[in-house]
Amino acid sequence: MRKQLQDISFRVSRYFRPLEPWHCGGLENGEQCPLGPDRKGRCRAQLALQDDQGQASRACRPVANLRARRQRVGWIAMIAVLAVLTLGFSYDSWKPLAMPGPLSVHHMSFGGEDCDSCHQAAVQPKSSWVSSLLGTHPSVDDAKNCIACHQIGEVPENPHSLPSDQLLSLTEAMNAHTAQLDTGNRVLSASLLVNVAQQFVGEEAKTPSCTVCHNEHTGSDQITQVSNQQCAVCHTASFADISAHNDFTDYPANRRTQIVFNHNSHLNKHFLDEDSSDLAPQNCIDCHRADSMGKKMEVRGFDTACSSCHLEQITGENRTSAKGIAMLAFPAVDTETLLERGVDVGSWPADSDAELTPLNLLMIGLLNPELSPQLTQLRALDLYDLRDASDAELDLVYHAMWTLKQSYFEMQRGGAQSMLASLQKQLVTDSGRAREVLGLLSPDLIDAAVSQAFPNLAEEMQQWLIKGLPALRLVAKTENEAQEATAINKVTEGENNEDWLAAAAGADEDDWLEDAADDTGDEDWLSEAAEDDSDDWLDEAVADSQDADDDDWLNEAAQEESSDDWLDEAVVDSEDTTDDDAWLNEATQDESDDWLDEAVAESAEPDEGDDWLNEAAGDDADSLDDDWLEDSLDDDNASLFDDENDIAVEAIDESKSVVTVPELLAIEDRAAAGGWYFEDFYLRYRPSGHADRLIVAWVELLINNTDSAMQSAMMSNVLSKDSPGTCIKCHSVDRQQIAGITRQTVNWLGKKASLTKHGFNSFAHQSHIAVIKHANSDLGVDEVDGCQACHKPNRDSDSSLAYEQEILADFQSDFYNLDKQQCIECHQPETQLANCTQCHNYHIGERVLVGMKIGFQSEAGKVKQTFSTQLE
């Protein structure tokens, strides 16, 4: 039997004391001394002996206990680590030390040293780190630095980066919507995780920090992680996976398209015609193209998609009706009736059957604002037959016609820009448009047109200026009219020819007032007239005409009975006193002379102008006018015919030679390239092609004119489908009630995708097109109509109806709404493709990455300059 290792001499063996740092070296052979070592590990027996004898006798080396050694090792390790940390963090470039994980490629440009590009703490004194344990969440401050570069939406920190009020309204809308959802969809509401999570959503979730979804330092480049559940915390009525997604009610189209295009008629009718089939597109992408992000599909534009068939319609080829737009008209007027009724509007082209154009009306309204409220009435009138027109209508016609004449006169004399001034005055909104409307109208054409329409316009003008007096020669029955006419004439003179009025007022007033005072005994009415009325209206006339504020003046003149009274009285008085006439005549005589002298003096006209002026001075105006007109006409015809005859003769003579004289085309065909021309007393404009500047300008000019007459006129004139240009045949007009007034906008362009603007939905067409090209067999479609795999055409629909009414959303698309199942075929719930964020954006609105100085101001005052790139 083997000897025991330690004979259990329990009686002698002493306590073993593991708690002590040291134990006696004697223990190791079972005979430790009673004293044992002290805490410093010195043998106390030895010390005692040293005390007694001064030197050590037996050497006992105490042994450190395991426990003590163990603790020592632990503490040394801890202190070593502490020392390393202290050294490392007190070292200047301590930042790599604290780097928690590699940055994503997006932020690689901040090196390991650039912590302060994002982290405030990196430049703060390290002592302040501890306080951040208690203080506010630094991620809030650091988030500012994210926003510094990433400008996201209007309120980046808000959910969906939307302004609170917008968010609120959207939320209400969504709640209202989900209220109708069948609860079967709310699969996720049954998910325990989300239910619990909803209980724990805190205040901070209302302004979630960037780090909630964006985790940097994860070593992966995918720093955005949003789970469907996270969406579901707020969207309580959302669904577990795409299979429970709502069916699409108004997706992809939630409004009528900007460009009016009936896919049905095109695909099923037009493209099948023999003559246009070769022009027809082969498949969808011939007309539609993904935007540069490969997301939204855009229309390729007129030149690519439409022009091959529709250009002619715009330029007006093979149009039966007039191929140009009637811009200005020289209307036919029923002058006989007018004369019978004692209304003289001068001469109007007898053989014209033109009607007033919107531009005419516009001009009348501009020149004579008094008439603008009555333009509708005017437009309703048939100027060619005024037999049963009322006095008021006649009065309107009378003034309108004269105003129109005057406008033509001014255009003839001053060119189109004379009209521009007044046009621009009213249409402050877009003066450039007015310029584009009339800018191209050449003075020659105006002159020619006006001269042809009103051969004696100039003489008429001067006559008209003196006119009004002859009206008084009418029978008494018609005196009133005459008187009124006179009065109004004076008025019109007053507004139209200030010089004359001023002269007249200044020259005669005093004289005839004084004479009147001398001749007649009682001065009552005169004094009255002088004090009350004549002074007043004259002064006002002068004053008003000076600051050119016509309306006020007119209103007063019209309303003040006093003037009428005065007129009556004047008439009454004029009956018993004969010498009144006399002085009146003199007065007029003098006037005419004065006017003539002035006219002569100031005339800087060419010779013929002089001639007819001189002649006018001597002879009878009417006869002279006729002769002049006839002569001019004769000359024209003669020369014209001669030329024709000669050419014809030559043609016959040299018939054997193959020289064919190009026949004289109709004038509108001569303007086929686009431009102005005069025909049938219309100044017409023919569009030069798609997006003609004048047409566009004209449409823009008229479209938001609030005047109902203008609008209706405009509709017939340009905006009717069959009017030349036919803009709105394809370009839909959106009417929106904005602040009570209807704003109209013409959609000149199809829907365009914005690279920086993000809505709630995002669909990557490009990648899907790629998928179709590869896996069309799976989808059971061939490449040509691959799009139709999702966009199923609705052959019964008539999208054109949508453009009759005003509500944009109320429409019938040429295609059925997308079928959810179509998506699910590929976007299986278990795949990443089925995440909410696959089709929906979180950050709504403008998303721009701006380069700028970021980084926090360090104590040293240095600002870290980081990369700077501008992404538009």
d(CA 631, CA 468): 30
Cβ–Cβ under 8 Å, residues 122 and 95: yes
Spell out where 787-831 has E strands: none
CB of 41 to other proteins, least distance (A): 14
Among 138, 281, 349, 793, binds other proteins (CB under 8 A): 138
Q: What does the DSSP 8-state code read for residue 16?
A: P
Cβ–Cβ under 8 Å, residues 646 and 661: no
Beta-bridged to residue 847, according to DSSP, are: 152
Among 43, 110, 216, 724, binds other proteins (CB under 8 A): 216
Q: What does the DSSP 8-state code read for residue 719?
A: I
Beta-bridged to residue 840, according to DSSP, are: 761
108 binds other proteins (CB under 8 A): no
Tokens 């590699």, located at residue: 102
Task: Point out which span in 21-29, 337-345, 415-423, 658-666 binds other proteins (CB under 8 A).
Answer: 21-29
d(CA 420, CA 443): 13
111 binds other proteins (CB under 8 A): no
Provide CB contacts within 8 A for 690, sequence distance 6+. 302, 303, 306, 307, 310, 311, 314
When the beta carbons of 220 and 592 are compared against other proteins, the nearer one is 220
CB of 268 to other proteins, least distance (A): 51
Among 92, 176, 184, 202, binds other proteins (CB under 8 A): 202
Task: Point out which span in 122-130, 235-243, 440-448, 577-585 binds other proteins (CB under 8 A).
Answer: 122-130
CB of 62 to other proteins, least distance (A): 12
Greatest Cα pair distance in the chain: 178
Tokens of 651: 């043609």
d(CA 370, CA 400): 10
3-state helix, strand, coil in the chain (%, to 5): 55, 5, 40
Binding residue count for other proteins, defined by CB under 8 A: 93
- Which amino acid does the sequence have at 708? S
Q: Which of residues 652-691 bind other proteins (CB under 8 A)?
A: none
- Which amino acid does the sequence have at 593? D
CB of 97 to other proteins, least distance (A): 5
Q: Count the helices and strands in the chain (H runs, E runs).
A: 36, 12
Beta-bridged to residue 686, according to DSSP, are: 675
Which x/- pattern over 60-89 shows residues binding other proteins (rule: CB under 8 A)? ---x-xxx-xxx-xxx-xx-xxx-xx--x-
Among candidate residues 487, 307, 533, 510, the one with its CA nearest the CA of residue 395: 487
Task: Point out which span in 120-128, 316-324, 528-536, 750-758 binds other proteins (CB under 8 A).
Answer: 120-128
When the beta carbons of 216 and 668 are compared against other proteins, the nearer one is 216
Among 50, 139, 822, 838, binds other proteins (CB under 8 A): 139
CA distance between the termini of the chain:
96
Cβ–Cβ under 8 Å, residues 158 and 842: no
DSSP string over 588-600: HHHHHHHHHHHHH
d(CA 84, CA 79): 9
Q: Which of residues 272-331 bind other proteins (CB under 8 A)?
A: none
SS3 268: helix
When the beta carbons of 160 and 263 are compared against other proteins, the nearer one is 160
Report the 10 Å Cβ neighbour count for 452.
Answer: 13
Task: Point out which span in 150-158, 199-207, 263-271, 657-665 binds other proteins (CB under 8 A).
Answer: 199-207
* CA pseudo-torsion sign 616, 617, 619, 622: positive
CB of 103 to other proteins, least distance (A): 10
Cβ–Cβ under 8 Å, residues 754 and 283: no
Tokens of 668: 């509108």
CB of 174 to other proteins, least distance (A): 18
- Which amino acid does the sequence have at 65? N
Among 177, 217, 387, 795, binds other proteins (CB under 8 A): 217
59 binds other proteins (CB under 8 A): no
Q: Which of residues 413-432 bind other proteins (CB under 8 A)?
A: none
When the beta carbons of 12 and 658 are compared against other proteins, the nearer one is 12
When the beta carbons of 18 and 506 are compared against other proteins, the nearer one is 18
When the beta carbons of 133 and 176 are compared against other proteins, the nearer one is 133
CB of 230 to other proteins, least distance (A): 5
When the beta carbons of 5 and 664 are compared against other proteins, the nearer one is 5
**Helix or strand holding residue 737 (H, E):** strand 733-738
Among 57, 198, 639, 858, binds other proteins (CB under 8 A): 198
CB of 117 to other proteins, least distance (A): 12
User: How many residues are recorded in the chain?
Assistant: 872
When the beta carbons of 30 and 609 are compared against other proteins, the nearer one is 30
Task: Point out which span in 129-137, 564-572, 760-768, 780-788 binds other proteins (CB under 8 A).
Answer: 129-137
Among 113, 157, 187, 208, binds other proteins (CB under 8 A): 208
770 binds other proteins (CB under 8 A): no
Q: Which of residues 222-261 bind other proteins (CB under 8 A)?
A: 227, 229-230, 232-233
When the beta carbons of 159 and 675 are compared against other proteins, the nearer one is 159
36 binds other proteins (CB under 8 A): yes
Task: Point out which span in 25-33, 391-399, 450-458, 724-732 binds other proteins (CB under 8 A).
Answer: 25-33
Among 58, 101, 630, 643, binds other proteins (CB under 8 A): 101
Cβ–Cβ under 8 Å, residues 694 and 436: yes
CB of 827 to other proteins, least distance (A): 22
Q: Which of residues 490-549 bind other proteins (CB under 8 A)?
A: none
147 binds other proteins (CB under 8 A): no
Tokens of 615: 């002649």
Cβ–Cβ under 8 Å, residues 38 and 23: no
